[in-house]
Every structure is written in structure tokens, then in C-alpha cells.
Amino acid sequence: MATDSNNEKSPLLSSQPDTDEISPPSICGEKRGRRSCLFNLVLANVVVCILTSASSLFSPALSQYVYHRISLQVFGNDTRTKNFSTLAPCFQNTSDPGYILQERAQIESSEKLSEFTIASSGIAVLCNVILGTYSDFFGRKFLYVICMTGYVLRTIVTVIIIHWNLDLDYLFLATGLYGLCGGSWSFTLASCAYTADNTPPHQSRSLWMAVIETVTGLSAALTSLAVGYFIQATGYFYPSLTSALVNVLGILVVILFMEETCPRQQRSCITPLQGLRNMMSVYVFQGTRLKKGLIWLGLLIFLFSIINNSSGSNLDTLFEMNLPFCWSPEKMGLFNTITYLVKNLVGVFLVKGLQYCMTDEVVALVATVSAIGGDLMWGFATNDFMLYAGVPVVGLVGFAATPIIRGIMSKMAPQSKQGALFASLALVESACSTFGTPLFNSIYQETVTYWRGAVFIAMGAMHAAALVLYLIFVPLFRKEQRQRQEVRQIQTPKS
């Protein structure tokens, strides 16, 4: 009894888990070396910066390369494509036969990119369950290295395909290896778990989760400005090769400089089934009925908040490249840079300001409303101004909805279950890519000929569903906090 009452990291309103469950000791995040938690958090964000820069080089190159290759196949011997080394022409005259071919290229490109995403995310759904829960036993650096190795393998295979102009179907090998190592979902898992190890379960944790999003956005902004010119000047080979080299640099930083916050345990051999059970214990065995209901509700909010981010990036590129915008790689890069800079420089300070006068869950409500507004602006956009007003202005703080719900859920889970919790979120995120990508791509394909922006209205509907769930979540979360406070007062011995 004395041990339980003195353990500040144990849940105050918890029920005992099943005795068959294997849990690591609650030593993840305990101070061991001379380094401060702040140093660890800064270094973790340096790694985020490196990997995001590499991804921001690779993703536009891949999307545009696939569209370029398919356009060449669709247009065949049409001489109008000969002068376009990196993109197909953008036909604006609907009576031109080239316009019909352009629409066909759009649909086929959307289908192919969707297949690649499903291939990687489908594999990652299963892999992230194992990788995330194992990180509570094998350590966070193990998880970082595994997922970043997947990035390297994907880019190397893609570089080979581009250099020798191989069949696009070989990209399934690249995306399969990427998914096998957990993909971007596993990297997000590692970053969030490492952040949770180095922060107390208060508002600072939610803020540092938002900092990850901010660093991601700023890194993408600085890279996006250059990648458009890079692609236009050199084609697709050198941006992809550069991405591979930057990924290798990230792995070296993790191995040589990052401190392990969750060291390997003596008993670290658990089966995949035990890993799955460990992950589910957060939702089934931990806490009161109200707390378990809240964490399930939080998972649903996370699902509807993240599904657009996991599924819509390729559609953004196709949307900007064609009628009525017909943007070049340079113009797309400039737009992404301005969007990321405004959203992450102005937006993060605005979120921090809101936290001074609002609780995390209310800030998340505001962010979700902002995200809905940004989606609507894109859905009805007919000119460049509406695109610029959509995300950088109306959707200014929309990015904060996802990291805040991550932070709230992390605070509800015990310290020994952080890896398991973020594994469940990575599973949901990769599942959203698996099922959300074909959903949104099918909407885009069905509406591309008469309303290209309809898919963004559908994305706005997902954020609206998250908003409704937040309205249910907030009063219940406050009720649970009051109950927690009452228990704390009862357990505190009177002087």
C-alpha cells in the first residue's frame, strides 16, 4: 500500500490489469544521465527536422514523377508533351482533345498513388502494433532506427527505378519495405513516445507535441521552397537521391547522439500476441469505466482528425497541378513554404497564447473549427487567392487538433504504457491511410470532371465529426478530472 501511494506515476483511478499481461517497469523517462530533458527534446526535434526535410524532398518528387510517367503513357505520341521534361501540359480548353487525356491521366495517377499508399500502410498497420509495444521493452532508439531504415530503403529503390526508367509497379517494393519498417506512422510514434518520456503529464506535454508538428511544418516549408526548383532544374533523380542521403544522416544522429530514455529490460522477449495485449490494456484494463470510455472517445476523435492528413497529400498535388490553377513545381513549392511558415510560426504562438486562457481540450475545439474552415475554402477555391486564404489564414490553427488529442490521451495513460498507447495511435493512423486513401481518391476520381474541390468538402465532414465528438468529450473529461481530484484529496494525508 505504501508503495502504491508513493508512486506518483501510477494512475489514481485505475483497476488492476489481468495477471497475464506483461508490462515493462515504469522506468521509461526516469532521469539517468547528465543530459537535461530539454536537451533530449531539442535533439528529438532536430531528428524530426532532418527526416521531414528528407520526406519533403521525396514526396513531391514521387507524386510528380508518377503523374509525369502516366501522362507520357496516356498522351502517347502527342508532340505537345515533348517540351515538358517534368510535367504534362495543363490544358484549360475543355474542347481540346488533350483536356480529355489530361483528365484520364489525373484519374490513373490518383489510382496508382492510392495503390502505393495502401501497400505501405496496410503492412504498417500490423508492424506498428509490434514495434510500438516493443519500444517499451527494447527502447526508443530501436524504434527510431527501424523506421528511419525504412525511409532509406524506400528512397534507394525509387532512385533505381527513376534512373533506369523501370516499370512503376516496382514502386510496390519500395512502399512495401517502407511499410514493413513502420513508415511515417512509426516515426511519429517514436517522436511522441520520446517526448512523453521527457515531459510531465501536464499542458507542457501537449505543447511539446504541438512543437513536433511545428518543427515538421517549418522543415517542410524550408524544403518545399527549394524542391520545386530542384525538380524543375534536375528532374526527379537527384531530389530522390538527396532524400536518401539526408535519411542516412538522421540515422547517424540517432545512433551517435540520442540518449535512450527507455532502456532495454532484462525481460524483453514478448510475443506479438502479448504486444497486442499490452497495447489493448490501455483501453480495456486501465482506470475506471469513465476513464476507459474517455480514452476510446479520444481514439475516435484522433481517427477523424488524422484521416485527412494521412490520405490527402497526393490529392493536394494533383489539385494544384491542374485546371484552374495549373501550378508549376516552383509555384507549388512556394505555396507550401508560405503555408507552412505562416501556420507554424504564427499558429504555434497563437496556440500557446490560447493555452494561457483555455484548457487543452477547448483549444482543440477551436483548432478543429479552424480546420473545417480551411477545408471549405479549398473545396470552393476557384483562384489562387482562395487557396492561400484556406490553410494559412482560415485554417491557421487547424494543425493543433491532432497533437493536442495525442497529448490528452498520453496524460491519461500510465508512464509504462506510453509506447503501447502511441502504437495504438500509429495503428489508427496507418489504417486511415489504408482505408481513407481509396475513399478520398474515389471521391476525387468521381468528381474531377465537374467539381475537383468536392473531396475537400468530404475532408471537412471528417473534421466536423471530430468536432461533434469533442463536444461530448469535453464535459466528460472535466467530470473525470473532478473525480481524480477528489480521490487525490482523500488519499493526501492530513497534517
Query: Which of 65-74, 151-160, 270-279, 353-362 bottoms out in mean pLDDT, i.e. has the lowest?
Result: 270-279
Give the model's confidence band at 166: pLDDT under 50 very low, under 70 low, under 90 confident, else very high.
very high
Q: Average pLDDT, stretch 361-376?
A: 92
Q: Average pLDDT, stretch 237-245?
A: 96
How far is the CA of 27 from the CAs of 121, 150, 258, 414, in angstroms?
31, 28, 17, 11
> How far apart are alpha carbons 171 and 54 in whole angstroms?
18
Q: Which residue's entry shows cell 505562416?
A: 342
Question: According to the model, what pLDDT value does residue 95 have?
Answer: 74
Are 247 and 155 within 8 A, CB to CB?
Answer: yes
SS (H, E, C) 120-172: HHHHHHHHHHHHHHHHHHHCHHHHHHHHHHHHHHHHHHHHHHHHHCCCHHHHH
Q: 246-250 contacts: CB < 8 A, separation 24 or more?
A: 246/50, 246/53, 246/54, 246/57, 247/50, 247/51, 247/54, 247/148, 247/151, 247/152, 247/155, 248/152, 249/50, 250/47, 250/50, 250/51, 250/54, 250/148, 250/151
Q: Average pLDDT, stretch 268-294?
A: 79
Is the confidence at residue 303, as pLDDT, over 90? yes
Question: According to the model, what pLDDT value does residue 252 have?
Answer: 97
Q: Average pLDDT, stretch 184-209?
A: 86
Q: Helix, strand, coil proportions of the chain in percent (round to 5)? A: 80, 0, 20
Indicate if the alpha-carbon torsion angle 305, 303, 332, 214 is positive or negative.
positive
The average confidence (pLDDT) of the chain is 83
Indicate if the alpha-carbon torsion angle 105, 106, 110, 113 is positive or negative.
positive
> How far apart are alpha carbons 1 and 3 in whole angstroms?
5
Is the confidence at residue 147, as pLDDT, over 60? yes
Is the confidence at residue 452, as pLDDT, over 80? yes
Q: Which residue's entry shows cell 542521403?
A: 245
DSSP, res 258: P
Give the model's confidence band at 80: pLDDT under 50 very low, under 70 low, under 90 confident, else very high.
low
Half-sphere exposure of 169 (CA within 13 A, CB side): 0
169 against 2, higher pLDDT:
169
Number of Cβ within 10 Å of residue 338's Cβ equals 16
pLDDT digit string (tens) for 2-53?
A: 443 343 333 333 334 443 444 444 456 565 554 688 899 999 999 999 999 9
> How far apart are alpha carbons 79 and 202 in whole angstroms?
62
> How far apart are alpha carbons 155 and 235 in whole angstroms?
15
pTM score of the predicted model: 0.79
- Which one-letter amino acid corresponds to residue 31? K
Question: According to the model, what pLDDT value does residue 12 have?
Answer: 32
> How far apart are alpha carbons 306 and 298 in whole angstroms?
12
Is the confidence at residue 238, as pLDDT, over 70? yes
Is the confidence at residue 89, as pLDDT, over 80? no
Cβ burial of 105 (10 Å; 0-12, 13-18, 19+) is buried
Q: Average pLDDT, stretch 280-290?
A: 83
Is the confidence at residue 448, as pLDDT, over 70? yes
> How far apart are alpha carbons 415 and 437 in whole angstroms?
33
- Cell numbers given for 428: 489508427
Are 166 and 151 within 8 A, CB to CB?
Answer: no
> How far apart are alpha carbons 401 and 305 in whole angstroms?
7
Query: Which of 73-82, 163-172, 283-292, 380-389 bottoms out in mean pLDDT, i.e. has the lowest?
Result: 73-82
Instruction: Kindly calculate the radius of gyration of the chain based on its CA atoms and give it in whole angstroms.
Output: 23
- Which one-letter amino acid corresponds to residue 266? Q
The answer to whether the peptide bond before residue 324 is cis (omega within 30 degrees of 0) is yes
Indicate if the alpha-carbon torsion angle 317, 322, 325, 327 is positive or negative.
positive
Q: Which residue's entry shows cell 504498417?
A: 124
Question: According to the model, what pLDDT value does residue 23 have?
Answer: 47
> How far apart are alpha carbons 131 and 137 in whole angstroms?
10
- Cell numbers given for 173: 517494393
Give the model's confidence band at 416: pLDDT under 50 very low, under 70 low, under 90 confident, else very high.
confident
Query: Which of 43-47, 70-74, 92-96, 207-211 bottoms out in mean pLDDT, i.e. has the lowest?
Result: 92-96
How far is the CA of 370 from the CAs of 122, 315, 364, 390, in angstroms?
30, 20, 10, 10
Is the confidence at residue 362, as pLDDT, over 80? yes
How far is the CA of 201 from the CAs of 165, 176, 195, 229, 385, in angstroms?
51, 36, 11, 43, 41
Among 254, 290, 70, smallest CA distance to 148 is for 254
Question: According to the model, what pLDDT value does residue 312 have?
Answer: 59
Question: According to the model, what pLDDT value does residue 365 have?
Answer: 93
Indicate if the alpha-carbon torsion angle 293, 296, 297, 298 is positive or negative.
positive
Is the confidence at residue 237, as pLDDT, over 80? yes
Q: Which residue's entry shows cell 501540359?
A: 89
Question: According to the model, what pLDDT value does residue 245 have?
Answer: 97
Longest CA–CA separation in the chain, Å: 88
255 against 359, higher pLDDT:
255
Q: Average pLDDT, stretch 332-354?
A: 82
Q: Where are the beta strands (DSSP E) in 227-371?
A: none
Q: Where are the beta strands (DSSP E) in 214-331?
A: none
Q: Average pLDDT, stretch 419-435?
A: 88
